[in-house]
Protein backbone atom coordinates (compact mmCIF):
# COMPACT_ATOMS: atom_id res chain seq x y z
CA UNK A 1 0.00 0.00 0.00
CA UNK A 2 2.78 2.43 0.91
CA UNK A 3 4.64 1.65 -2.33
CA UNK A 4 1.51 2.37 -4.38
CA UNK A 5 0.98 5.67 -2.57
CA UNK A 6 4.59 6.73 -3.12
CA UNK A 7 4.25 5.85 -6.79
CA UNK A 8 1.46 8.40 -7.15
CA UNK A 9 3.74 11.16 -5.89
CA UNK A 10 6.81 10.13 -7.87
CA UNK A 11 5.41 9.59 -11.35
CA UNK A 12 3.87 12.29 -13.53
CA UNK A 13 0.41 13.84 -13.44
CA UNK A 14 -2.20 12.32 -11.19
CA UNK A 15 -5.41 11.21 -12.84
CA UNK A 16 -8.65 11.61 -10.92
CA UNK A 17 -11.71 10.16 -12.65
CA UNK A 18 -9.88 10.45 -15.97
CA UNK A 19 -9.01 14.13 -15.45
CA UNK A 20 -5.44 15.44 -15.46
CA UNK A 21 -5.17 17.57 -12.30
CA UNK A 22 -1.60 18.68 -12.96
CA UNK A 23 -2.94 21.70 -14.86
CA UNK A 24 -5.76 23.91 -13.60
CA UNK A 25 -8.96 24.05 -15.62
CA UNK A 26 -9.45 27.13 -17.74
CA UNK A 27 -12.64 29.13 -18.00
CA UNK A 28 -12.25 31.77 -20.70
CA UNK A 29 -12.94 35.35 -19.62
CA UNK A 30 -13.96 34.40 -16.05
CA UNK A 31 -11.40 36.84 -14.59
CA UNK A 32 -10.63 39.07 -17.56
CA UNK A 33 -7.23 37.46 -18.18
CA UNK A 34 -7.40 38.19 -21.91
CA UNK A 35 -6.66 41.87 -21.33
CA UNK A 36 -3.49 40.98 -19.39
CA UNK A 37 -1.94 38.77 -22.06
CA UNK A 38 0.24 41.78 -22.89
CA UNK A 39 2.07 41.05 -19.62
CA UNK A 40 3.65 37.91 -21.10
CA UNK A 41 7.40 38.52 -21.15
CA UNK A 42 7.18 41.18 -18.42
CA UNK A 43 8.62 40.89 -14.89
CA UNK A 44 6.88 40.28 -11.57
CA UNK A 45 7.49 43.92 -10.67
CA UNK A 46 5.71 44.99 -13.86
CA UNK A 47 2.68 42.89 -12.84
CA UNK A 48 2.68 44.33 -9.33
CA UNK A 49 2.89 47.90 -10.65
CA UNK A 50 -0.24 47.71 -12.83
CA UNK A 51 -2.42 47.53 -9.73
CA UNK A 52 -4.82 44.69 -10.53
CA UNK A 53 -7.69 44.31 -8.08
CA UNK A 54 -7.56 41.07 -6.05
CA UNK A 55 -7.84 38.19 -6.23
CA UNK A 56 -4.50 37.81 -8.00
CA UNK A 57 -1.78 35.19 -7.73
CA UNK A 58 1.79 35.47 -9.01
CA UNK A 59 3.37 32.02 -9.26
CA UNK A 60 7.18 31.91 -9.28
CA UNK A 61 8.94 29.22 -11.31
CA UNK A 62 9.00 25.86 -9.56
CA UNK A 63 6.49 26.82 -6.87
CA UNK A 64 3.62 24.53 -6.06
CA UNK A 65 0.12 25.95 -6.12
CA UNK A 66 -2.98 24.86 -4.31
CA UNK A 67 -5.65 23.15 -6.40
CA UNK A 68 -8.64 25.20 -5.29
CA UNK A 69 -10.19 26.89 -8.30
CA UNK A 70 -11.20 30.54 -7.93
CA UNK A 71 -12.85 31.57 -11.23
CA UNK A 72 -12.37 35.32 -10.73
CA UNK A 73 -8.71 35.05 -9.66
CA UNK A 74 -6.10 36.00 -12.25
CA UNK A 75 -2.87 33.99 -12.22
CA UNK A 76 0.51 35.05 -13.57
CA UNK A 77 2.93 32.13 -13.95
CA UNK A 78 6.63 33.06 -14.08
CA UNK A 79 9.53 31.23 -15.73
CA UNK A 80 12.97 30.60 -14.25
CA UNK A 81 14.05 34.13 -15.25
CA UNK A 82 11.09 35.69 -13.42
CA UNK A 83 9.21 36.60 -16.59
CA UNK A 84 5.49 36.03 -17.10
CA UNK A 85 4.90 33.03 -19.37
CA UNK A 86 1.18 32.43 -18.80
CA UNK A 87 -1.83 34.49 -17.69
CA UNK A 88 -5.01 32.60 -16.82
CA UNK A 89 -8.05 32.44 -14.56
CA UNK A 90 -8.32 30.10 -11.62
Cβ-based neighbour number of residue 74 at 10 Å: 24
Tell me the longest C-alpha to C-alpha distance in the chain: 49
pLDDT (average), residues 24-44: 85
**Structure confidence at residue 28 (pLDDT):** 63
Confidence of residue 25 (pLDDT cuts 50, 70, 90): low
**pLDDT surpassing 60 at residue 55:** yes
Higher pLDDT, 26 or 79: 79
Strands 15-16 and 19-20: antiparallel
Average pLDDT of span 43-69:
93
- Beta carbons within 10 angstroms of residue 36's beta carbon: 20
Task: Give the confidence band of 30 by pLDDT, cuts at 50, 70, 90.
Answer: confident
Domains and CATH numbers, the chain: 23-89 (3.30.10.10)
Amino acid sequence: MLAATLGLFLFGPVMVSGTDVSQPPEIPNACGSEKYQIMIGKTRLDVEEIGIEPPIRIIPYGNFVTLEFVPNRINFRLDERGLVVRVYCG
